[in-house]
Structure 1
């Protein structure tokens, strides 16, 4: 089949290119826009308590909203605010409220906004809508900038200081401190691809060609994802754009390298350029398609997730990989077939067979001592894997960003005078079962019981809906809303008291950010027990079909699982042990699953496909392993460096969360590429021998040739 695809594309290159360009432009222009959200509650199923609370709030209290930002006033000398100070602050807030600040509905303060110790006074910046598109939007960011500038003028020559904190302010400060992450990832990825391809092929054409083809694939993918999101009502979060950049350029560069290395090999074997490309597609097409199938299946397994975020990630990333695969098998061969050997200009190295000293020696080492190589590689990965047992999921990301920003300093000031939960109060929503009126006395009793809960700092008076069927109480926790202590309180005593004290004939739920995080934690734990096993079984089936074997897929999957755990263990050691972090981003294992297990398996498949190819040429298992490492190691090394480097650039960010993600995934890619695929997989295959291909006997070629002695000593 792949030989047929190669012939059709090579013989009709202009038609292939035209179809791709017209198709991508058409899809992009007609597709609906890709709407994203940052509200984590949007990703939870309706059965979770925080979602039920949000539904009552939206229905019965549509005008209520948490502040988008909080103005924190204090004296410059740190002393208590005088009556004159409080009057001046009130006047300043009135002046600011009189201005037009885009998505700001009003700015309000009052005597109740003065801290118990009298050192801090707050003012709430109320948004026009509770939608995160408003709170985190560009208009609100501009409003925060203008608020800061206007307040600085009002505070001139006074004894007061003011800082702006809260969601909108923190988001703005983080963006200004870390820059545009999407742009940083894009530029770093492009730079890595260009530099590495120039170093490998010494040709500017080859350095630019994959970028051009991936851009076309990205345009088509984004349009198709927009259609899929609109058709199936998928909630896509803002991080999908960053993931798409990494997946498209990482996978696209991998497939491009797989194809070009084989194309150059066929040229060196004496084939004419067009025939060489047909042979390259025919020989590497199955490996690329199998690798893409593994990635697509792994991503699609996320559709089983209970989190809408992951449910949307799966199809979106699967579409991107599918389009990239199609481009790798058609668009790239079409362009290269037109250029022929000019694609390598100005280098002439493609005409010379390299000595492959390093790869040859590595291959010879695997062939001579497969037991030792497998033992060392496996032991190293096993030791790192054991460290993964110390993984602690961290949901509190309040300290992940830069700590010298205005919002961070203002938050410290706020917490010195108020309970830490003041920034994101916990909502208690009560709804009568039959739509009738609630008993106000019973709701008041609930508030009193909540105030007695250890860890609750303040409970606001109950707000009753206009029809009397619902009530809302705002609870300020002593601890920060994202902290482990706050989550434990909400999961335990707070929810217990709310449920037990609900008025007769009503239901009561705990909502707000902390409750959302509690539900997300529960949902993620469910996903670990469902998504991982299903994906593993599906990948196992793909490997069995590709290899026509029921033996090799088992140790391949075992090595991949070991590589994943080793990657997680490395990250645990660096951040929790060396840097002293309290934990790692709760979604990091899932992120590493996406990129280390799914995409990293590409390298395993490329290696095992070459092992099978050499075996079918008649070489004995050890000789086949030596030749496979010699021919495939340079490709895997280049592809691994590009993908690992893409994520590694996140280490430059000041955000600890991005640093953890960047390190975890990049070290994972390096482990699966340079330890698992290059050493463990070929060594195990050499040890298992002919049985690795049972029952399909894929090592039984039409003609069995003796292995050359040079195979074992690394010479060409």
Structure 2
């Protein structure tokens, strides 16, 4: 099948290239735009308590307004606010209110908004939209900051704006430079590394153009599926699509070009060499892509809406990369022939590959020692996973010089940390008489006794008197681990236990949502990972026609996953003293290390099987397979790891964690697992590794084709 695909692309290159260009242009013009969404229901299922609480709020208190941001006033000298200072705060607040900034409904303060120690005064910024991450609102918060600066001159006061909208603005601005830096560095890195590997300017540039065309097609297909098929997708997926497409797309191109160059060195004509390359590695590329696709589709089993959204979108992008690798790449390079490698002449002669040869001989001659050392190294690194602590406070990773971070720290000098985003408790009575004043007071008193609760506001009743709302200010930062622990544990337990007979209590708000997300993530780890593992094993079994090989391959993959996470824990959490690591880090490692990193294992075992089928004994097959695959795997993994490694240059500590984990995991998958552990285990098992499907046979020579032929002879 793959031989026929290769022939069609190579012998009709202009038809193939034209079809891709037409598809890209048509989808770019006709496909709908991806829409952004921040609906809470898109992230958690309706059975979670925080989502139910949000629905009660919409039904019973539709006019309830939560400040989107908080302006924090203090004296520049750090002393207590004087009466004149408080008057200035009121005047500045009034002037900000009078500006009529878009999407800002009110800017208000009161005498009660001064801290008990008299050092901090607050002004609430109430928005006309409920979503604190609304782009227009974030822009308006930035404008409010700019307009406030001249108002402070001569007052002796300083002002900082914090809260959800302000933190979102700072995060976006801080990551804006990072995004452009990552994109620029990615393109430069790919071009430079390809230039060093092949010493050809055309090969350095063409993959970038090919993947760019594939990106246009993938984005158009995703947005069309979202519009027609009901697939949920978010515009924020574009950034991750770029990384995935450049990662797997470059891998598939390298797999093909290295094999093409190998066939040229054996004496085949350029077109025949490309057809043979597609025939030989097409199944490998398809299997590698299939493993990544099913791993991404396993995210559909997640209870987290953002992961269910991400899975199909990434699966579509990998499918497009696969199609491009099997059709567009052969078509483009068949037109160029050996000119694609100009000015290098490396395609004419066999390389010495001294290092690759030594690695192959090591894995073949001492498989037991190699397996023991590499497996032991992975196991030791995986031990760090036992100390993993999830960090849900994404703002803690922001650079400390940002205004929202500094203002939050200043506010905590006078108010409980939870003042910017209180937790909300709803008490709802389903039947009978309305809630009594005594019941409301007693219930509020019970909430106030929970350790970690700083203040509970008096109950606010809905119009029918059957739903009461309590605003609970925590002593801890709303998005921090301690606050999540209080809300998900003692506060919820007390809220449910103290609810009068005939009522139900629901705890909602940002902190409650994060607590439910933590539960959802823990659930997903138990469901998504095993499902993806089984699916990948089935694909490996079909590729290798073996029951044994997929088993030890998945054991090595699991060790690699643990080693990657463990090393990240050792470096960031233990050595740097971080409270915890990004809560989505295990999923990120799963997506980019386990799923994509499996490509290298698949390439290696496919070549091992090919050598065995040609009648070579296991040790010789391992030596030859490793020697032939090391350059391909090394080049592909360095490019992919370098792409993610750029994230370590960011100021955001969570981006640094992500960059290190993925880059380290990719290199671990390539240089330890694919080059050493897997060949060593395969050599130890011998022909048993391929049971029951191995049928050794002599290699057959491909039917030749002349470069100027339009049809095969």
- Check conservation: 1:182, 1:241, Cα contact below 8 A: no
Question: CA shift at 1:697, angstroms?
Answer: 1.1
Residue in 2 aligned with 1:709? none
- Check conservation: 1:36, 1:235, Cα contact below 8 A: no
Residue in 2 aligned with 1:27? 27
- Check conservation: 2:133, 2:168, Cα contact below 8 A: no
Number of aligned residue pairs: give it. 701
Q: Distance in 1 between matches of 2:219 and 2:427?
A: 42
The TM-score normalised by the length of structure 2 is: 0.95
Residue in 2 aligned with 1:345? 342
Q: Distance in 2 between matches of 1:185 and 1:682?
A: 34
Residue in 2 aligned with 1:414? 411
Alpha-carbon spacing, 1:10–1:440, altered in 2? closer, same or farther (3 Å): farther
Question: 1:8-59 deviations in whole A, cap 9, x for unaligned?
Answer: 1111111111111111222233323212335666300000000000111122
Is 1:88 equivalent to 2:88 in the alignment? yes
- State which drifts further: 378-387 or 634-643: 378-387
CA-atom RMSD, angstroms? 1.9
The TM-score normalised by the length of structure 1 is: 0.95
- State which drifts further: 120-129 or 173-182: 173-182
Task: Report the 3-state secondary structure (helix = DSSP H, G, I; strand = E; otherwise coil) of the residue aligned with 1:416.
Answer: coil
Question: CA shift at 1:112, angstroms?
Answer: 1.9
Residue in 2 aligned with 1:518? 515
Residue in 2 aligned with 1:689? 686
Alpha-carbon spacing, 1:368–1:218, altered in 2? closer, same or farther (3 Å): same
Alpha-carbon spacing, 1:633–1:229, altered in 2? closer, same or farther (3 Å): same
Is 1:298 equivalent to 2:289 in the alignment? no
- Check conservation: 1:438, 1:503, Cα contact below 8 A: no
Question: CA shift at 1:133, angstroms?
Answer: 4.5
Question: 1:187-209 deviations in whole A, cap 9, x for unaligned?
Answer: 22211110111001111111111
Question: 1:571-600 deviations in whole A, cap 9, x for unaligned?
Answer: 011011211112111111111011111000
Question: CA shift at 1:170, angstroms?
Answer: 2.1
- State which drifts further: 206-215 or 594-603: 206-215
Task: Report the 3-state secondary structure (helix = DSSP H, G, I; strand = E; otherwise coil) of the residue aligned with 1:179.
Answer: helix
Task: Report the 3-state secondary structure (helix = DSSP H, G, I; strand = E; otherwise coil) of the residue aligned with 2:70.
Answer: strand
Residue in 2 aligned with 1:589? 586
Structure 2 gap segments, 5+ residues each = 701-713
Is 1:111 equivalent to 2:108 in the alignment? no
Question: CA shift at 1:71, angstroms?
Answer: 0.6
Residue in 2 aligned with 1:702? 698
Task: Report the 3-state secondary structure (helix = DSSP H, G, I; strand = E; otherwise coil) of the residue aligned with 1:680.
Answer: helix
Question: CA shift at 1:147, angstroms?
Answer: 1.9
Q: Distance in 1 between matches of 2:205 and 2:637?
A: 19
Residue in 1 aligned with 2:66? 66
- State which drifts further: 113-122 or 389-398: 389-398
Task: Report the 3-state secondary structure (helix = DSSP H, G, I; strand = E; otherwise coil) of the residue aligned with 1:430.
Answer: strand
Question: 1:76-111 deviations in whole A, cap 9, x for unaligned?
Answer: 222222222212211110111010222211111112
Aligned partner of 1:169 among 152, 166, 169? 166
Task: Report the 3-state secondary structure (helix = DSSP H, G, I; strand = E; otherwise coil) of the residue aligned with 2:26.
Answer: helix
Counterparts in 2 of 1:319-338, with a 5 A limit?
Answer: 319-338=316-335
Q: Distance in 2 between matches of 1:550 and 1:129?
A: 57
Question: 1:307-344 deviations in whole A, cap 9, x for unaligned?
Answer: 11111111111111011100110111111111111111
Q: Distance in 2 between matches of 1:384 and 1:179?
A: 34
Alpha-carbon spacing, 1:234–1:395, altered in 2? closer, same or farther (3 Å): farther
Counterparts in 2 of 1:147-546, with a 5 A limit?
Answer: 147-231=144-228, 233=230, 236=233, 239-433=236-430, 437-546=434-543
Residue in 1 aligned with 2:13? 13
Question: CA shift at 1:345, angstroms?
Answer: 1.9
Residue in 1 aligned with 2:619? 622
Is 1:652 equivalent to 2:649 in the alignment? yes
Alpha-carbon spacing, 1:693–1:588, altered in 2? closer, same or farther (3 Å): same
Structure 1 gap segments, 5+ residues each = 705-716
- State which drifts further: 470-479 or 20-29: 20-29
Q: Distance in 2 between matches of 1:346 and 1:312?
A: 45
Q: Distance in 1 between matches of 2:146 and 2:523?
A: 47
Q: Distance in 1 between matches of 2:602 and 2:221?
A: 27
Q: Distance in 2 between matches of 1:217 and 1:269?
A: 31
- State which drifts further: 159-168 or 521-530: 159-168
Question: 1:211-255 deviations in whole A, cap 9, x for unaligned?
Answer: 111111111111222233345655545652222111100000000
Q: Distance in 2 between matches of 1:574 and 1:524?
A: 23
Q: Distance in 2 between matches of 1:335 and 1:150?
A: 55
Residue in 2 aligned with 1:714? none
Structure 1 stretches of at least 4 aligned residues deviating more than 6 Å after TM superposition: none
- Check conservation: 1:45, 1:308, Cα contact below 8 A: yes
Question: CA shift at 1:654, angstroms?
Answer: 0.7
